[in-house]
Structure 1
Amino acid sequence: MNNATIRRGQPGKARPKVTGRRKAPVKRKSMFASAAALLPFPLEVVQKAVGYGAVALGIGVIAVGVTFLGLPQMAGVAAAEMVGRAGFEVKRIEVTGIDRMERMTVYAIATDQQSMAMPLVDLDDVRGRLMAQPWIAEARVSRRLPDTLLVDIVERKPAAVWQSQQQLSLIDGNGVVLEPVSPDAMPNLPLVIGPQANLQTAPLKTLLSAAPALGPMVAGATWVGNRRWDLRFQSGETLALPEGEQDARVALVKFARIDGTERLLGRGFVRFDMRIPGKFVVKVPPRSATTKIDTPSDAPKQDGQAGKIKDTDANSSGGENGTGEG
């Protein structure tokens, strides 16, 4: 027998000496984890997105079940409330686009719900009630899971002040009444006067654009008989324009040209009447008036209260009744 030590239980073979711990088997990554490792964002983001997607799918299934499959309404509401108790209920409202109208009005409409559970918030109803507000031209309402309601507002833009039945109102370019205006806080906007004058704001703007030099001098415009305009200038004179958009445009351009050469505005005249094509009648103050009219050598010919100006494009004739409408 040699010097090798034979241990009991294993005749003829020496038992190897074991040193250190045995290595644990290597766990293989799941396919989901391997795929997530290739994405440019953390795994937590993926898991959260999957969770939100599942909830969104659940909300959709509930809505479809209640609406299309004829499930009892109470069962659908109960399921939606369960989703809300799980954390998917409105806790925040984000409003964008607000400038002039009251922000609290939007909050009050958005929170006026039978339930604040996300699946039960009626987005179409919220939008419809927002669109009924005078200042709101467009509204978009959406959910952002888990707990935020997004409200995006497009406001109307003030374009003029409308005076009707001794009331002043701020209106937009389409004539929509936005809010009352105090006489002590008049905004720097055109003044339109008369019944239904608010509905003529856009045509008036187009008309004034034909004579850009006169536009800043116009203090107000009266819609007469629902058919034509009287323009009142900041210097106090009134210009009576004819009916019809084209005739009014031609008359205004002609007046702008005469004013550019004869300096009509600011010289004490009372009224310019261009209602009849081919005629241009000027009304001056009564002789007893204290106002003095500066009359240079190139001024139009005047005759008492009614005067006539000969234009190169029109034969002047007739008189002025002084009533503003004849």
Structure 2
Amino acid sequence: MAQKKAPKKNQPPPRRISPLKPGLSGARNWATAQVRSASYSRQHRMRLMATGTILLMVVFWGALWLGGYIPAIKASGAQFTKQRLMNMGFVVKHVDVVGEGRISEAQVRAVLGVQPGDYLFDMDIKNAQTRVQNLTWIDTAVVRRLWPDRIVVHVNERRPYALWQENGIIKVVDRSGVVIADAHVAEFSALPFVVGVGAAEHAGAFLDILAVHTELQNRTEAIVYVSQRRWDVVLKDQGARILLPANDPHTALKNLEKYDREYGILGLDLDRIDMRVKGRLTLRPTSIDRDKRA
């Protein structure tokens, strides 16, 4: 029968391996576990507190919204802020209009809709600017607030450019063809005279061409926009009408000046000078000349 070996004396007891983290001593492993547990608990508590706070805020603001109190709260806050700023000096004391000429400063002030003592930020800048630009003499306008108490309006006025006749009615227009309703025709009688539908909008480009031909420009009584595609020039003295082509009227006028130097065409008693066809010049005498020839 086999004999059991007797245990050796002074042999150390077997080491206990930590169930949480093998290889570490029990005390060290326990401390690590406690630190992790405590950290997890703090984060959990913080999440719970944050969630609770959000829910309370949602319930609070939801109750205010359902009760219809939010608009009143906003209005009360806005009124409080407005009163504080007014007490600090943010009220209109000065309105400056820069660039006025034909239009008066009083007219600009009237359409601004602002009075001394008004809250500086009550005025709608965009709408005020639109109202100023709708004045008949105004081309562009810029309205600005200058803190703490000043409104500044910069205006550029329209410049009378021509007299435009349509359907027997004569009006003063600027270069872009916009009618200046308050301008008096008699005051601007020296301006170029343009006639026809669409003439006001297109006259600028043709008058620039005519300005190159100084002698013809000095003889011109009016320019007529025909079929919204080409121009006729009516001369002052005998009332002759120069019919220009739709394309390249500059070259046609240049050729006419050449013919006048060589043959004195513009000094003849003519009713019409037709240059609509390139390379061809057709002259029609006045009715008096035709009667004499008959």
* TM beyond 0.5: yes
Superposed displacement of residue 272, structure 1: 1.0
Matches within 5 A, 1:193-212: 193-212=195-214
- Once residues 198 and 219 of structure 1 are traced to their aligned partners in structure 2, the CA distance between those partners, rounded to angstroms, is 16
Matches within 5 A, 1:17-36: none
Equivalent of 2:77, from 67, 75, 78?
75
Superposed displacement of residue 254, structure 1: 0.8
- Once residues 77 and 215 of structure 1 are traced to their aligned partners in structure 2, the CA distance between those partners, rounded to angstroms, is 65
The alpha-carbon distance between structure 1 residues 212 and 107, as it changes in their structure 2 partners (threshold 3 A), is same
- 2:142 maps to what in 1? 140
Alignment deviations for residues 79-120 of structure 1 (CA, whole Å, 9 cap, x no partner) = 22442355432232111111223433211112357x821121
- 1:164 maps to what in 2? 166
**Greater C-alpha radius of gyration:** 2
Equivalent of 1:89, from 64, 67, 91?
91
- 2:285 maps to what in 1? 284
- Once residues 187 and 164 of structure 1 are traced to their aligned partners in structure 2, the CA distance between those partners, rounded to angstroms, is 16
Kept in 2, the 8 Å contact 1:169–1:180? The answer is no
Equivalent of 2:246, from 243, 258, 269?
243
Give the gaps of 5 or more residues in structure 2.
Answer: 1-72
- Once residues 136 and 80 of structure 2 are traced to their aligned partners in structure 1, the CA distance between those partners, rounded to angstroms, is 36
Alignment deviations for residues 111-148 of structure 1 (CA, whole Å, 9 cap, x no partner) = 357x8211212222211222233432221211233332
- Once residues 213 and 287 of structure 1 are traced to their aligned partners in structure 2, the CA distance between those partners, rounded to angstroms, is 26
Kept in 2, the 8 Å contact 1:169–1:178? The answer is yes
Superposed displacement of residue 74, structure 1: 5.3
Kept in 2, the 8 Å contact 1:168–1:182? The answer is no
For 1:179, what is the secondary structure of its paired residue? coil
| Matched letter for residue 269 of structure 1 | L
Alignment deviations for residues 24-71 of structure 1 (CA, whole Å, 9 cap, x no partner) = xxxxxxxxxxxxxxxxxxxxxxxxxxxxxxxxxxxxxxxxxxxxxxx8
| Matched letter for residue 122 of structure 2 | L
- Once residues 278 and 199 of structure 2 are traced to their aligned partners in structure 1, the CA distance between those partners, rounded to angstroms, is 24
The alpha-carbon distance between structure 1 residues 185 and 218, as it changes in their structure 2 partners (threshold 3 A), is same
For 1:124, what is the secondary structure of its paired residue? helix
- Once residues 182 and 271 of structure 1 are traced to their aligned partners in structure 2, the CA distance between those partners, rounded to angstroms, is 33
The alpha-carbon distance between structure 1 residues 183 and 143, as it changes in their structure 2 partners (threshold 3 A), is closer
Kept in 2, the 8 Å contact 1:135–1:155? The answer is yes
Superposed displacement of residue 217, structure 1: 2.3
- 1:264 maps to what in 2? 265
The alpha-carbon distance between structure 1 residues 183 and 123, as it changes in their structure 2 partners (threshold 3 A), is closer
RMSD over aligned CA atoms reads: 3.0
| Matched letter for residue 253 of structure 1 | K
For 1:178, what is the secondary structure of its paired residue? coil
Kept in 2, the 8 Å contact 1:286–1:304? The answer is no
- 1:226 maps to what in 2? 228
Question: Does 2:131 correspond to 1:129?
Answer: yes
- Once residues 155 and 181 of structure 1 are traced to their aligned partners in structure 2, the CA distance between those partners, rounded to angstroms, is 12
- Once residues 140 and 186 of structure 2 are traced to their aligned partners in structure 1, the CA distance between those partners, rounded to angstroms, is 31
Superposed displacement of residue 211, structure 1: 2.0
The alpha-carbon distance between structure 1 residues 181 and 260, as it changes in their structure 2 partners (threshold 3 A), is farther
- 2:215 maps to what in 1? 213
Superposed displacement of residue 207, structure 1: 2.4
| Matched letter for residue 252 of structure 2 | A
- Once residues 266 and 202 of structure 1 are traced to their aligned partners in structure 2, the CA distance between those partners, rounded to angstroms, is 28
- Once residues 266 and 207 of structure 1 are traced to their aligned partners in structure 2, the CA distance between those partners, rounded to angstroms, is 22
The alpha-carbon distance between structure 1 residues 219 and 149, as it changes in their structure 2 partners (threshold 3 A), is same
Across the two proteins, how many residue pairs are aligned to each other?
Answer: 222
Alignment deviations for residues 287-325 of structure 1 (CA, whole Å, 9 cap, x no partner) = 4789xxxxxxxxxxxx959xxxxxxxxxxxxxxxxxxxx
Question: Does 2:96 correspond to 1:99?
Answer: no
The alpha-carbon distance between structure 1 residues 90 and 260, as it changes in their structure 2 partners (threshold 3 A), is farther
- Once residues 94 and 200 of structure 1 are traced to their aligned partners in structure 2, the CA distance between those partners, rounded to angstroms, is 36
- Once residues 281 and 167 of structure 2 are traced to their aligned partners in structure 1, the CA distance between those partners, rounded to angstroms, is 31
Superposed displacement of residue 151, structure 1: 0.6
